[in-house]
Amino acid sequence: MAAYDADSSAGGDLAYDPNFVPDSVKTFVVHLYRQIRDKNVYEIHQMYEGSFNRLTDRMFRESPWPTAEAVAPYVDGDHVFCLLYREMWFRHVYARLTPTPKQRVESWDNYCSLFGVVLHGVVNMQLPNQWLWDMVDEFVYQFQSYCQYRAKLKNKTEEELQLLRNFDQAWNVYGVLNYLQALVEKSNIIQILEREKEGLEQFTVDNGYDYQGGSNVLKMLGYYSMIGLLRVHCLLGDYRTGLKYMAPIDLSQQGVYTNVIGSHISTIYHYGFANLMLRRYGDAIREFNKMLLYILKYKQYHQKSPQYDQILKKNEQMYALLAVCLSLCPQQKLVDENVSTQLKEKYNDKMTKMQRYDDEASTVYDELFSYGCPKFITPSAPVLDEPLTNYNQEAYRLQLKMFLFEVKQQQLLAGIRSFLKIYSTITVTKLAQFMDVDEATLRTILMTYKHKMHSTDNDGKIVSNADIDFYVDDDTVHVVEAKPTKRFGDYFLRQILKFEEMISELEKVQLD
Amino acid sequence: MAKEAQQQVSYTVEELVAVNPYNPDILADLENYVNEQVSSQKYSLDANLCLLRLYQCEPERMSPPIVARILIKALMAMPAQDFSLCLFLIPEQVQSEEQFKTLIVLSHYLETARFRLFWDEVAKNRSLLESVPGFQQAIEAYAVHVLSLIYQKVPRAVLAEAINKEGLALDQFLEYHVANSGWAIEKSQGRSQLIVLPPNEFNHPELKKNASDSVSYEHVTRIFPVLS
């Protein structure tokens, strides 16, 4: 276990010997290779999450792991293993170090090879779902990172610009989207999920694993790619298409997507955000609420996990977005008590300000949206002639602008909501007087309220998001408070299934 | 014959969008499809979003007249939010061009139910909007929709302003809807007509089906093994 000599600089930009393989790494790869060949998923998972991170903490905090070429002799030069190892290698560089431009491009090549192998259907491994999720998640993350990187042209060296020119196909948006889509299609995952509804598949029950000697890799990469596609479309600003990709997964139920916490959070975060931009505030609030409650209950179990920081970050972002949703569409009854308490602690002042709908409110909306939103990207390739500018903020500025415009359009609604809360009937004339506007303007405000509080769902049906509603009879406004709907049907179903489980457990008990 | 050929193209375009949307080669087909939507009064949001995404990836191939047509079609789809969905994909510098600024203003007026301002602005931009057949009727339908969300009985003047019709044209409009859409006309005390709109769950809350308590078929199938 040699310490790396900080002075020994090889010609490259890394002051370490990429070909030196410490004994512990030798043991690690030999062991991992054997476990993968023997399809011991549990062991693989232990090594992947446990050993890899322990070794990283011990020896590779500030330098990369040995290269795939260096470890290849210990694993029979297995091509697929090397692709997997390299994927982990690059992921480590992104997480702990800063990737060089060349490394970014090489990582793209590696993903192309890796996905190419998987898509050809010749992979026979079973890998832990955590690993397969991390692959897709990292793929999208590196794409996002590359778009940000190449949009910052101002301070690039000539060498960097030349690299961008020569490797203009690296991380191109069509390639990324086509790989994700190819994984979805080739894995047949949509059909599998359809057939599962008719009881012809065991996909969710088996958590995606194949207990008949086959492989879960293509299937699970296909499944996680649906979430990957949702994420990429959110980054591009195309929320509707992103949500369409999630249609095969029933988000009102537990599913394979909930079994890896990273995939659970990423799904709900992007789903909620897309709904927020589509003005479906009710749906967004419901999903954020469920996710935040889950994190509240279970985050202690993930404290040792390498993803803990990410979990906490997304948690905070979702609170910010929830605060925004609730200010635009007050619906306290949709939020669990515990989540509500947390929310008040973090954002009570800001939510009060946002509900005032003045200029100060706009600043707060800006702040929370900017904190909670994803890092949007500009997918087009950079124009590499003078003058070189940084345009990595353009995509974000556009989405922010559109969002604040929407907020501004809803500016008058806060005033009317407070009156609707007090009166059960009031004439149009009187209400106009109270609000200090003329009658025609008031009628306009009433119509805006109704229009904004109703959104169109995926089937074109109009759905109300409002907690307070009204109708007008010639010149009188009648206020109607939306009753909270008790979901008796759902409740009974759950209890029936629970009791069935209990009964079958009891029947198994043998009394001596 | 020409119509059949047209039908074949649109079938293929919808398929392309579903199967292979991330492909710059279909850009020309998608542009033709936009023109076809305009001329034959059809509409496909997914195909148009696909085209806008391709423009996003290759800004030098963007065609402002096509984008304008997409936006006008999106306006006509209100109350659906298609117009904003399209704007999310159009870069800021493009949005600041004159014709797009006009369209954004029109959308703003419709979103905030400022119908009189809307029709005034339309009158100033006839050439832009008349190139898309069906525009007038689509906006009238939206106006009627918003009124139906609120009013059980709407005063004649309010309706007139919303759909930009007066006098004889308005009377004909009312006649048509009384005959075909279940409208009725009442006289309110002293003032002019009141139009009674058909009841729906929005202007008659008691009609609201408690739909969220209904259980989907898929969920019920889960307890079939128990019930047997």
**Residue A480 backbone dihedrals phi, psi, to 5 degrees:** -125, 130
Nearest CB to A174: which of B22, B59, B111?
B22
CA B194 to mean position of chain CA atoms: 27
Instruction: Give tens-digit pLDDT for B67-93.
Output: 999 999 999 999 999 999 999 999 999
Q: Which of A206, A201, A205 is nearest to A191 (CA)?
A: A201
* Inter-chain CB proximity A490 and B49 less than 8 Å: no
Q: pTM for the complete prediction? A: 0.89
Measure in Å the smallest separation between the Cα of B80 and chain A Cα atoms.
6
A174 in reach of chain B (CB within 8 A) = yes
Quick one: closest CA in A to B89, which residue? A237
How far, in Å, CA of A48 to CA of A260, rounded? Answer: 14
Say which residues have a Cβ less than 8 Å from residue A365's Cβ, sequence separation at least 6: A324, A327, A354, A403, A404, A407
Q: What is the mean pLDDT of chain A?
A: 89
Look at chain A and count its residues.
512
How far, in Å, CA of A74 to CA of A28, rounded? Answer: 10
B100 in reach of chain A (CB within 8 A) = no
| Interface contacts A/B by beta carbons within 8 Å | 149
Instruction: Give tens-digit pLDDT for A356-391.
Output: 878 889 999 999 999 999 999 999 888 887 778 888
* Inter-chain CB proximity B111 and A454 less than 8 Å: no
Instruction: Give tens-digit pLDDT for B90-113.
Output: 999 999 999 999 999 999 999 999
The predicted pLDDT at position A9 comes to 35
Q: Tell me the average pLDDT across A22-50.
A: 93
Which three-class secondary structure state does DSSP give residue B62? coil
The predicted pLDDT at position B210 comes to 56
pLDDT band for A16, please (50, 70, 90 cuts).
Answer: confident
- Token reading at A87: 């994927």
- Has residue A484 got a pLDDT over 80? no
Specify the DSSP class assigned to residue A455. E
Mean pLDDT, 10 residues at a time, chain B of 228 residues = 50 81 91 94 94 94 95 94 95 93 95 94 92 93 92 90 92 91 81 82 73 63 70
For A486, the enclosing helix (H) or strand (E) is none
The predicted pLDDT at position A364 comes to 95
A88 or A360, higher pLDDT: A88
Unique residue bearing structure tokens 């800021």: B92
Beta-sheet pairing, B193-196 with B184-187: antiparallel
A418 or A374, higher pLDDT: A374
For A427, the enclosing helix (H) or strand (E) is strand A425-427
For testing the chain A interface, which of B56, B147, B186, B214 should be mutated: the one with the most A CBs within 10 Å? B56
The predicted pLDDT at position B213 comes to 56
- Has residue A11 got a pLDDT over 70? no
CA-to-CA separations, A332 to A323, A325, A343, A490, in angstroms, rounded = 11, 11, 11, 21
Instruction: Give tens-digit pLDDT for A451-465.
Output: 888 888 777 777 777
What share of chain A has pLDDT > 90, as a percent? 59
**Amino acid (one-letter) located at B213:** D
B194 in reach of chain A (CB within 8 A) = yes
A485 or B175, higher pLDDT: B175
Instruction: Give tens-digit pLDDT for A225-241.
Output: 999 999 999 999 999 99
Lowest mean per-residue pLDDT among A85-89, A258-262, B11-15: B11-15
Q: Tell me the average pLDDT across A173-183.
A: 95
pLDDT band for A7, please (50, 70, 90 cuts).
Answer: very low
Q: Quick one: three-class SS letters along chain B?
A: CHHHHHHHHHHHHHHHHHHCCCCHHHHHHHHHHHHHHHHCCCCCHHHHHHHHHHHHHCHHHCCHHHHHHHHHHHHHCCCCCHHHHHHCCCCHHHHCCHHHHHHHHHHHHHHCCCHHHHHHHHHHCHHHHHCCCCHHHHHHHHHHHHHHHHEEEEEHHHHHHHHCCCHHHHHHHHHHHHHHCCCEEEECCCCCEEEECCCCCCCCHHHCCCHHHCCCHHHHHCCHHHHC
The predicted pLDDT at position A4 comes to 34
Nearest CB to B49: which of A238, A472, A493?
A238
* Inter-chain CB proximity A277 and B88 less than 8 Å: yes
